[in-house]
Amino acid sequence: MLLQVLISGIIVGSIYALVALGFILIYKGTNIMNFAQGEMVMISAYFGLMYHIYYKMPYLAAFILTILTAGLCGILIERIVCRPLLKSPVMSVIIATIAVSIIIKNIARLVWGSIYYPFPSPFSLTPYHLGPIMITPKDVGTIVITLILLGLLYYLLQFTKIGAAMLATASNQKAASIVGISVKRVFSLTWAISFGLASAAGFLLAPQVSITPEMGDIVIVVFTAAVLGGLESLPGAVVGGVLLGIVGNLAGFYISTAFKDVVSFLILITILMFRPSGLFSAGAMRKA
């Protein structure tokens, strides 16, 4: 049974990891902590619902179209909300992205109401039995899609010019613009990619839970995952996400589901208090 809980923890955790990656991309790349990341996951699930169920598009087409729509939202939010606030204090940016998250959540509430929408998975639900554990093709599909996306992101950042420009901007904006990188365009791109990741996560999460406007509450888990990984490290986010998926599932299974959230909040506070630079860094340091 323990093994089963671990496996399903890893599956949920891989979805967390996708969202956390997007969150860190924005934080590292543009110095903005985006409190609306969770709402993007939620609204993307609705986009997926719209394309896949209402317009009856095939799964893959709906998936790609959702990612593109979310990317466009990312560019819009960067352009309208974040660019005017580039030189504002941290406080204003925090409040602005919180405002964005409230707006997205309420749009979802007004358009789709508070009804639970089920979302079908293209993969079958009949489980394989591998010794003591059960695993469904749906779970395998989730993991595989996550791995493909991670691979794509890795390729983009390591082997393309765009990725090099993004990494350069993240490490030093001024120097990047001196060597001819358009920092503004990189910012837009960063937001687009980050929201694309969030929307993929929303698409994968939707069959696991039903779609509601409250789906965005996973943002807390994502914060915790990102903080666990040190907030600056992309591999750290993946490890943090998976770790948190496992811990959350263990807490839900052995203590109670109500306790699941408390655990991630407690981890968040504890890490920020004692190791603000994350689990995997060399030493604790102050963070501003």
Partner 1 sequence: MKKHFQKILLLFAFIFFLVAPQVLDNYFIYLLNLFFIAFIVSIGLNILTGFAGQVSLGQAAFFGIGSYTSSLCMIKLAIPFWLSLPLGGVMGALISLLIGLPALKVSGYYLALVTLAFNEIVNLIMMHWKKMTNGTDGLNIPPPKLGEFVLSTDGSKYYIIFLLTFFLFMASRNILRSKTGRAFISLKDSEVASQCIGVNLPKYKIIAFMISAFYASLAGGLHGIALSYIHPQDFNLFRSIIFLMMIVIGGLGTMGGPFIGAALFTLLPEALGKFQEYQELIYALILLGSIIFLPSGLIKLPGRIRALATRAAHKPPASIPAA
| Buried b / exposed e along 253-265 (16+ C-beta atoms within 10 A) | beeeeeebeebbe
- Residue 85 near partner 1 by CB under 8 A: yes
The residue written with tokens 């639900």 in the block is 125
Q: Does 88 bind partner 1 (CB under 8 A)?
A: yes
How many other β-carbons are positioned within 10 Å of the β-carbon of residue 128? 11
Give the residue, chosen from 50, 68, 103, 162, that forms a contact with partner 1 under the rule CB under 8 A. Answer: 103
DSSP 126: P
Q: Which of 92, 171, 182, 210 binds partner 1 (CB under 8 A)?
A: 92
Per CB under 8 A, contacts with partner 1 among 106-125 are 106-107, 110
Least distance from C-beta 147 to partner 1, angstroms?
Answer: 29
Binding-site member from 129, 161, 174, 286 for partner 1 (CB under 8 A): 286
In the shown chain, the binding pattern of residues 181 to 200 toward partner 1, with x for contact by CB under 8 A and - for none, equals --------------------
Q: Pick the piece of the chain touching partner 1 (CB under 8 A) from 45-53, 103-111, 160-168, 238-246.
A: 103-111
Burial of 67 (0-12, 13-18, 19+ CB in 10 A): buried
CB 15 within 8 A of CB 147: no
Q: Looking at beta carbons only, is 207 or 278 nearer to partner 1?
A: 278
Q: Which residues pair with 134 in a beta bridge?
A: 129
Task: Give the x/- contact pattern for partner 1 in 22-41, rule: CB under 8 A.
Answer: -----------x--------
Candidate list 57, 220, 234, 250; residue touching partner 1; CB under 8 A: 220
User: What are the strands, taking DSSP E only, across 84-227?
Assistant: 128-130, 133-135
The distance of closest approach from Cβ of residue 22 to partner 1 in the complex, given in angstroms and rounded to an integer, is 16
How far is residue 81's CA from residue 158's CA, in Å, rounded to a whole number? 29
Quote the CA–CA distance of 201 and 238 in Å, as a whole number: 13
Binding range to partner 1, per CB under 8 A, among 43-51, 102-110, 188-196, 204-212:
102-110
Please give the size of the binding site for partner 1, defined by CB under 8 A.
36
Q: Of 83, 84, 77, whose CA–CA distance to 100 is shortest?
A: 77
Using the rule CB under 8 A, which residue among 2, 3, 60, 95 binds partner 1?
95
Reduce the secondary structure of 12-41 to three states and give it as a string.
HHHHHHHHHHHHHHHHHHHCCCCCCHHHHH
Interface with partner 1 (CB under 8 A): 33, 81, 84-85, 88, 90-92, 94-96, 98-100, 102-103, 105-107, 110, 220, 223, 227, 258, 261-262, 265-266, 268-269, 272-273, 276, 286-288
